[in-house]
Chain A
């Protein structure tokens, strides 16, 4: 049985998991029904900051179907504090983070009480019957105000709203010069020194499947199903937070419908469902509504960035200084404080920068807490530097691509150690840019832009550039250690060779829409020379996939996929001993290709499936060889992976209305070797959609009371295919040199690269009208005001963000 098998790597297979995911006929957490299942609903604070002066649950307790009503006081002893695994500095101010507020609420949406009832409807009805008296406390929403003397405090006991300040200085680290000196000298010489302030608006991950948890306490282990990205981390954290022995908890992430970092969390509701189920002794389910998700699932981004860039008049970069304020919201989640720090190594991007300083102050405010969102720290960094490069080009009257090329790392200069201390293993910025320019027809668009300016057309054309890199594949454990992160960055994989020659691949990576089942099957089919259909990928259950670090930070393929490939190598090693024994030859005489061990120079051989059966039967194995081909690997990467690429955006701005229309979008990404081009394409498209969404559409807006006014998808504008252009995507392929597959991450690249490309295009279209910045999202109103207020940027906080727009959001009437 030696049918020739077409190579799987590089094959654009349709994803085997899609039929069940798309039709919903699968094990979404909310689809799980257990005998005797009860339902939990959560009462949330309507106020952003208040004392709970009285909470009366009597009426709720006597409502039909109600089994239990629990308050923060009831759980104060058991609930512990929700974990934050990333204390970025030794002196970080770290507040208690109760799952249920005990006597004070600090953001609107914070859980205050829970009801468990026989049906979800009864639980919801009873929640309405809980009577709470709140005593208002002063609300602080703005980061700069929060840091001012005399500001109201989010956490009285901390005595400050400053969570931590984290600094990287190339002068101190020895990776570059002292940036303050470099900037001072540049000023003296009359070189270019640009200062800008950018705002990274707050975003909501808005995954499609709302969060859901089921906990079954009726067994030796307590089993939790959760719509999570991180079943393994969740089990560990539940054990550590609640003091339950780790082996008594089993966590299952069944099929999960998107996360984008939003499900990289240990949520209050997971803890509450766990505690409620354990207390009652029956299985309990909690599934959130969309509006609950919008107010209470962690948000992302939310930074104020102050940047100073120094360059020679010829365009050569001299130094960059970055001062950030990052909004934590009211509490710290799993990796909240570390998110902006992930950007620290990326502001220098692809450029050779002699001096660099990054300083970030994390701030508490009375808003939903923030944490990872697709790109996590790196989109913010890339936005800032790529906007600055366009500003520099404008200042010098140069083409933005020319200024970039002048400063980027040339392909023959890799590996290259940057001013932030990272070593980029490989890249070819020239090749990606060349291809992007060709696909975009850069020169023709520049000509059209000039003509339109000349004519004074109502619709102006702008061209935006973003030449990005990012660090992903989180992460080498020693680097995480040096950043005070609470865990390592390895990944585990195992392979089980079944008696029938079929293969089970167990991965510690935890897919939630990425297509691991298809990609891992392709990798292993190729490695072992078995048909794609014969490979089953097992994931997301701490009992079967017992060891893992889960999925985030574009790490799955470049860490977890590599671990699986390495496990396959071990299977082959083990099989080779048995094959040699069966074929009565020396192992050295064997050649393994396309699933077959052949004795060199003969036509004798045996298929790996036959070896698997021989191992199973174990009737005739060589001395000292165990009857198993199964193998496992825990792989710790030696470096990050550094995808890069060039994105070009042509945007039309209607100067009469301020509306932006993306006319064409070209991206040439270099994500190294590709396992499945169709999956890569999908990741790029989705990434672009989310990056463009930040540039043009999405923003979490709070009113002055701290109420989220964009709490429905009618107000929080997630664009759909109808709002987006046709993307022209292409790839160059510079293999990563730091992993045996040569792969890099692709999960976040599109999001990271696209936001600045779009905003650069918008600004470029109207720069001649006196505009040098528009706050994100570049709504028609902001763009129009920027144009018509003439010179300078549009004011940061536009007229008002307080009320929602028409339609659903204005259901209870607008006001004048």
Chain B
């Protein structure tokens, strides 16, 4: 379908973008890769008065190191995240999760920041960001602030971003040397997750020294499976430990019932997938 008419601005700096948002008021929308926004506009589920395109802001693209952090620009495409050697080295989990997003066409346009800002609980990059304790750098009329992932995801399609704020970059602690795995369960290749589990573990002398587990689509926001993490840490990386730990995966989750999965099935799936994700992460 054809979207309602809107004004279009394409600023070349973050400051201009923030000003453009402030001027346009509540009705403005930020455009990143457009892979989620354009369908919404075309189906007329939203009719913004102004669209602020971030595509020309060079600062927002690319990955670099900053001490013990990796800094990923919000406008870095899925394709660039997938291929970035720094991401593979220091945040393997993120690279692996990005590999499972959509199809090559979408990955060439869709962005890391766009996915996080969109905050679809079925989106694949939220749980890894949460599990890895990423921090969101947000720019607004009063300058920049940093929001930890835990506080960033608020509800379905809702983040801590104010309407006049932009996500500019994501700072991820380095997890060099950790094993990682993203176990995604969906029905066709290009689809979002029905349930997925993001796991990163550091195995030391045959036992699990540290573990991070994040869950996709088990609530209105990504969920950190702390019960699983606790049950893993300090234990031998064996099938039994992992299976036992995975029994905690559904704790505190609030899965929905939809056409692909009812809540019971999701609670069951998350245990199976957690076990598989941690096993693979511990092996790799």
Contact = CB atoms under 8 A, between A and B. Distances in A.
Contacts of B8: none
Interface in A120-137: 120-121, 124-125, 128
Given A803-B258, A816-B254, A720 B188 contact: yes
B142 interface: no
A542 B103 CA distance: 41
B216 to A, nearest CB: 9
B1 A289 contact: yes
B238 interface: no
Contact of B258 (A128, A719, A720, A810): A810
A814 B193 CA distance: 14
Interface stretch (A26-34, A443-451, A708-716): A708-716
B259 A805 contact: yes
A720 B186 CA distance: 14
A723 B188 contact: yes
Nearest to A816: B256
A805 B194 contact: yes
Interface in A760-797: 779-781, 784-785
B24 to A, nearest CB: 20
Contact of B190 (A710, A720, A811): A720
A806 B259 contact: no
Given A120-B2, A125-B4, A803-B257, A814 B156 contact: yes
Nearest to A64: B5
A291 B1 contact: yes
Interface string B244-257: 00000000001011
A208 interface: no
A813 B156 contact: yes
A805 B2 contact: no
Given A800-B257, A816-B256, A124 B188 contact: no
Nearest to A815: B256
Contacts of B254: 816
A804 interface: yes
A156 B28 CA distance: 48
Nearest to B44: A128
Contacts of B257: 799-800, 803, 816
Contacts of A798: 262
B7 to A, nearest CB: 15
Contact of B120 (A128, A780, A804, A807): A807
Interface in B129-151: none
A40 to B, nearest CB: 13
B269 interface: yes
A85 interface: no
Contacts of B260: 779, 781, 805-806
A806 B121 contact: yes
Nearest to B193: A806
B280 interface: no
A342 interface: no
Interface in B176-199: 185, 187-194
Interface string A704-728: 0000011010110111101100000
A807 B256 contact: no
Contact of B5 (A121, A799, A807, A813): A121
B120 A810 contact: yes
Nearest to B254: A816
Contacts of A659: 185
A803 B194 CA distance: 13
Nearest to A784: B265
Nearest to B275: A656
Given A781-B261, A816-B256, A805 B192 contact: yes
A785 B265 contact: yes
A24 B130 CA distance: 43
A701 B45 CA distance: 21
A807 B262 contact: no
Interface string A632-654: 00000000000000000000000
Interface residues of A, number: 47
B270 to A, nearest CB: 11
B1 A722 contact: no
A801 B120 CA distance: 20
B81 interface: no
A784 B268 contact: yes
A710 B120 contact: no
A722 B189 contact: yes
B217 interface: yes
B43 interface: yes
Contacts of B5: 121, 125
Interface string B35-69: 01001101111000000000000000000000000
A543 interface: no
A458 to B, nearest CB: 9
B239 to A, nearest CB: 12
Nearest to B42: A289
Contacts of B123: 806-807
A157 interface: no
A781 B265 contact: yes
A172 interface: no
B189 A723 contact: yes
B259 A656 contact: no
A657 interface: yes
A799 B156 contact: no
Given A803-B258, A814-B256, A291 B43 contact: yes
B210 to A, nearest CB: 27
A806 B157 contact: no
Nearest to B191: A807
B23 to A, nearest CB: 24
A808 interface: yes
A806 B188 contact: no
A285 B260 CA distance: 38
Contacts of B263: 816
B229 to A, nearest CB: 22
A207 interface: no
Most A CB atoms within 10 A — which of B220, B259, B263? B259
A807 B194 CA distance: 9
Interface in B200-215: none
A712 B192 CA distance: 14
Contacts of B268: 784
Given A800-B262, A805-B192, A779 B272 contact: no
Nearest to A806: B122
A806 B194 contact: yes
A697 interface: yes
Given A125-B4, A717-B188, A807-B192, A657 B256 contact: no
A188 B260 CA distance: 45
A799 B257 CA distance: 8
A4 B256 CA distance: 69
Contacts of B40: 811
A425 to B, nearest CB: 40
B258 A806 contact: yes
Nearest to B121: A806
A360 to B, nearest CB: 29
Contacts of B190: 720, 722
B41 to A, nearest CB: 11
A811 B157 contact: yes
A656 B220 CA distance: 25
Contact of A657 (B44, B191, B269): B269
A733 to B, nearest CB: 35
A709 B273 CA distance: 27
Given A120-B2, A799-B257, A805-B260, A720 B189 contact: yes
Given A805-B191, A810-B258, A814-B121, 14 more contacts: A120-B2, A656-B272, A780-B194, A781-B262, A799-B262, A803-B256, A805-B258, A806-B193, A806-B194, A812-B45, A813-B157, A814-B258, A816-B256, A816-B257
Smallest CB-CB A-B distances: 3 pairs: A806-B122, A807-B192, A722-B189
8 contacts: A128-B4, A656-B272, A657-B272, A712-B39, A722-B190, A805-B259, A810-B120, A814-B121
Interface of B: 1-2, 4-5, 36, 39-40, 42-45, 103, 120-123, 156-157, 185, 187-194, 217, 220, 254, 256-263, 265, 268-269, 272-273
